[in-house]
């Protein structure tokens, strides 16, 4: 943990110091705001009816499962401004959580304030790689952000930069953070032969950040209507499906440290979702944009009745189409262009990506043919290869107990299931996009779809007052939530965070033999438990005890070769 933080701060410090002198020549490096139409929208334009906030035909509410639901329509700037006004409280809260997590990693107020100069200079041309439409939308939503963080940058500049946070997180993934897992099956591998897509989105910015997930239904004035699982104020896409049954999910790949701003991956994914209905159309859009990190975009298409992975790096692109009707994706490349690339080979060797890839295939093969319920079970699986006990929260597991969300799509039926908190453990609730966007599908007994499409007489303006969750298709919460193991995990997590504060941030904490025993008992099969205790005692020059814990850590299933090397280095320090 401490090594990771030191690398992070060291990298950022080099960036800041290198460019700080150049900053003196600039009075402001704020990004130019886009031209937008004049709108007379403000807080007074919002009405509230039975807990639903409304502005024109758009609305925003929280459902009974804690998910926020938003329906937004109109032109670009209007959409952003409307979303901002409707979700203002959550927008302010999300930024507070986001900055709080950054402060936890970088507790120095001086360094945090100085850091903005390097980041602003690095991303000074970011707006050149974003379409005018999305710049207007982001500018609209940025006006609802709070003044409290203007020291970081003006609202528009910092919110546009926030849309690159996913990419920055993936750059940090090269320093062994976490990785997402996704899959698609169809034909003989699907229960009814239709496409089924599943994914875990393991972007973690603290528990508070993940509390207020938003299911955003967007009906733009151009392109296609779509649904995106997001957070308040974020207009990019990390998981989504459009009205024609095209889905996009993101998986990080190994990247070099970025050298300059390009199109953020969630912005690219948003463009694909809004303007593509086939895999080939998605590929054309991806090829037209330059990105500053490497990424796998799993695309499934109802029109194509198939799925493929667009693999993109800052300077190359390829598409991987499987020979069979099944597709699995973790965090390494599979296409001809990239599979023998030295960076990709090193990533496979040193990270947990290949292990999760193999485990995912093992789970799929054990459950063919797959339906949405089995897909959710796979996304929740915490075991390793051959059901090995990895301990709780191991990066080798499909379910690392930190996902922002889990999601399952049936593109040809326009159905999506989204997890409710915590992580992907809560109930998966089902939405029908045909119903959301003005159509409804006739269903038989038990919610089974008959396939007959009917014109829906209900206009979008009245959707705010009608529930469109399909209760008969919901998937129950994981039984793990009611187990003693989950209680142990919550206690383990609390104690782990306490240790992190001491080891990585140097904070004084309460720690004694009783707490240490409790910590070990709460997650005894996790290598992280003993790795952190080893670091704790190494900091206190108690080399004998540190060595014992490091050796225990190595006896467990360590997440990656890189982590194993770090533990061995610390063992050498103990011996020296």
**pLDDT tens by residue, 481-491:** 999 999 999 99
Q: At residue 435, does pLDDT exceed 80?
A: yes
pLDDT of 101 > 80? The answer is no
Beta strand extents in 271-398 (DSSP E only): 295-301, 306-312, 317-320, 326-329
Q: What is the pLDDT of residue 150?
A: 77
523, 489 in Cβ contact below 8 A?
A: yes
* Straight-line distance from the first to the last Cα atom of the chain, in angstroms, rounded to the nearest whole number: 21
For 303, counting Cβ atoms within 10 Å of its Cβ (0-12 exposed, 13-18 middle, 19+ buried), the class is middle
Q: Is it the case that residue 3 has pLDDT exceeding 50?
A: no
The arrangement of secondary structure in 484-575, i.e. its CATH architecture, is Alpha Horseshoe (1.25)
Sign, CA dihedral 33-34-38-44, equals negative
Exposure b/e, 312-324, CB count within 10 A at least 16 = b: bbbeebbbbeeee
Confidence (pLDDT) at 159: 87
Q: Are 360 and 183 in contact (CB under 8 A)?
A: yes
How far is the C-alpha of 245 from the C-alpha of 26, rounded, in Å? 47
3-state helix, strand, coil in the chain (%, to 5): 45, 20, 35
Per-residue pLDDT, 157: 85
Q: Residue 122 has what pLDDT?
A: 60
Helix axes 513-522, 527-539, angle to 10 degrees: 160
Residues in the chain: 576
Give, in order, the Cα–Cα distances in Å from 182 to each of 20, 62, 91, 378: 41, 27, 28, 10
As to burial, measured by CB atoms within 10 angstroms (0-12 exposed, 13-18 middle, 19+ buried), residue 281 is: middle
Q: Which stretch, 88-92, 109-113, 378-382, has highest mean pLDDT?
A: 378-382
pLDDT of residue 262: 87
Q: How many CA atoms are closer than 13 Å to the CA of 505, on its beta-carbon side? A: 16
Longest dimension (CA), the chain: 77
**Would you state the pLDDT for residue 31?**
74
Non-local (6+) Cβ contacts of 453 within 8 A are 434, 439, 441, 442
Average pLDDT estimate for 129-156: 89
Pairing between β-strand 52-55 and β-strand 58-62 as defined by DSSP bridges: antiparallel
Radius of gyration, CA atoms only, the chain: 24
Q: What is the DSSP string of 415-457?
A: EEEEE-SSTTTS-EEEEEHHHHTTEEEEE-GGG-EEEEEEE--
The DSSP secondary-structure symbol of 368 reads P
SS (H, E, C) 35-64: CCCCCCCCHHHCEEECCEEEECCEEEEECC
Token reading at 83: 């979303």
Query: Residue 518 has what pLDDT?
Result: 98
pLDDT(12) > 50: no
Per-domain residue ranges for the chain?
484-575
Tokens of 576: 């020296």
Average pLDDT of the chain, as a whole number: 86
Q: Choose the weakest-confidence range: 200-204, 292-296, 466-470.
A: 466-470
Name every residue whose Cβ is closer than 8 Å to that of residue 303 and which is 6 or more positions away in sequence.
244, 245, 246, 277, 278
Report the SS3 class of residue 234: coil
Percent of the chain with pLDDT over 70: 83
The arithmetic mean of pLDDT across residues 96-123, rounded, is: 65
Q: Would you tell me how many other CB atoms lie within 10 Å of the CB of residue 551?
A: 14
What would the mean pLDDT of 384-389 be, rounded to a whole number? 98
pLDDT exceeds cutoff 50 at 17 = no
Q: Where are the alpha helices (DSSP H) in 236-300?
A: 265-275, 279-288
Provide the 3-class DSSP secondary structure of residue 102: helix
Looking at per-residue pLDDT, the higher value among 30 and 344 belongs to 344
222-239 pLDDT, tens per residue? Answer: 999 999 999 999 999 999
pLDDT confidence bin for 115, thresholds 50/70/90: low
Q: Which contiguous run of DSSP H or E holds residue 337?
A: none
- Mean pLDDT score, 352-364: 97
């Amino acid at each position: 943990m401490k090594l990771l933080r030191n690398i992070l701060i060291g990298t950022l410090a080099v960036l800041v110091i290198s460019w700080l002198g150049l900053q003196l020549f600039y009075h402001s490096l704020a990004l130019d705001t886009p031209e937008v139409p004049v709108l007379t929208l403000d807080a007074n334009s919002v009405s509230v009816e039975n807990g639903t906030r409304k502005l024109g035909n758009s609305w925003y509410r929280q459902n009974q499962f804690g998910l926020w639901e938003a329906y937004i329509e109109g032109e670009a700037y209007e959409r952003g401004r409307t979303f901002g006004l409707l979700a203002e409280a959550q927008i302010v809260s999300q930024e507070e959580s986001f900055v709080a997590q950054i402060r936890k990693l970088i507790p120095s107020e001086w360094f945090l304030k100085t850091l903005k100069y390097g980041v602003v200079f690095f991303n000074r041309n970011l707006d050149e790689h974003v379409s005018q439409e999305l710049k207007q939308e982001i500018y609209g939503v940025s006006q609802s952000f709070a003044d409290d963080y203007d020291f970081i940058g003006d609202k528009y500049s910092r919110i546009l930069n926030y849309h690159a946070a996913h990419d920055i997180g993936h750059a940090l993934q090269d320093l062994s953070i976490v990785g997402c897992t996704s899959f698609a099956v169809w034909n003989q591998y699907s229960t009814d032969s239709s496409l089924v897509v599943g994914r875990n989105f393991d972007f973690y910015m603290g528990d508070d950040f993940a509390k207020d997930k938003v299911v955003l239904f967007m009906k733009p004035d151009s392109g296609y209507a779509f649904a995106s699982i997001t957070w308040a104020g974020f207009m990019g896409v990390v998981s989504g499906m459009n009205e024609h049954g095209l889905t996009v999910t993101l998986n990080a790949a190994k990247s070099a440290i970025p050298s300059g701003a390009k199109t953020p991956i969630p912005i690219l994914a948003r463009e694909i979702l809004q303007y593509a209905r086939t895999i080939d159309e998605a590929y054309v859009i991806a090829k037209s944009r330059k990105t500053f990190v490497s990424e796998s975009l799993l695309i499934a298409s109802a029109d194509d009745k198939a799925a493929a992975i667009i693999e993109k790096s800052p300077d190359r692109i390829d598409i991987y189409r499987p020979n069979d009707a099944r597709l699995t994706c973790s965090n390494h490349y599979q296409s001809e262009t990239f599979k023998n690339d030295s960076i990709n080979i090193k990533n496979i060797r040193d990270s947990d990506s290949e292990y999760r890839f193999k485990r995912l295939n093992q789970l799929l093969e054990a459950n063919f043919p797959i339906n949405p319920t089995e897909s959710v079970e796979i996304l929740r699986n915490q075991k390793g290869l051959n059901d090995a006990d990895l301990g709780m929260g191991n990066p080798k597991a499909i379910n690392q107990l930190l996902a922002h969300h889990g999601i399952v799509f049936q593109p040809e039926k326009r159905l999506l299931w989204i997890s409710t908190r915590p992580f992907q453990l809560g109930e998966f609730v089902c939405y029908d996009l045909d119903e959301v966007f003005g159509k409804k599908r006739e269903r038989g007994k038990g919610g089974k779809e008959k396939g007959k499409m009917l014109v829906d007489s209900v206009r979008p303006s009245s959707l705010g007052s009608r529930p469109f969750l399909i209760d008969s298709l919901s998937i129950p919460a994981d039984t793990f939530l009611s187990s003693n193991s989950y209680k142990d995990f919550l206690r383990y997590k609390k104690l782990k965070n306490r240790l992190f504060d001491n080891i990585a941030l140097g904070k004084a904490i309460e720690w004694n033999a009783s707490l240490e025993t409790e910590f070990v008992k709460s997650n005894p099969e996790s290598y992280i438990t003993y790795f952190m205790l080893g670091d704790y005692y190494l900091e206190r020059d108690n080399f004998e005890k540190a060595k014992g814990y490091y050796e225990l850590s190595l006896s467990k299933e360590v997440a990656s070769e890189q982590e194993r090397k770090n533990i061995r280095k610390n063992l050498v320090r103990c011996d020296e």
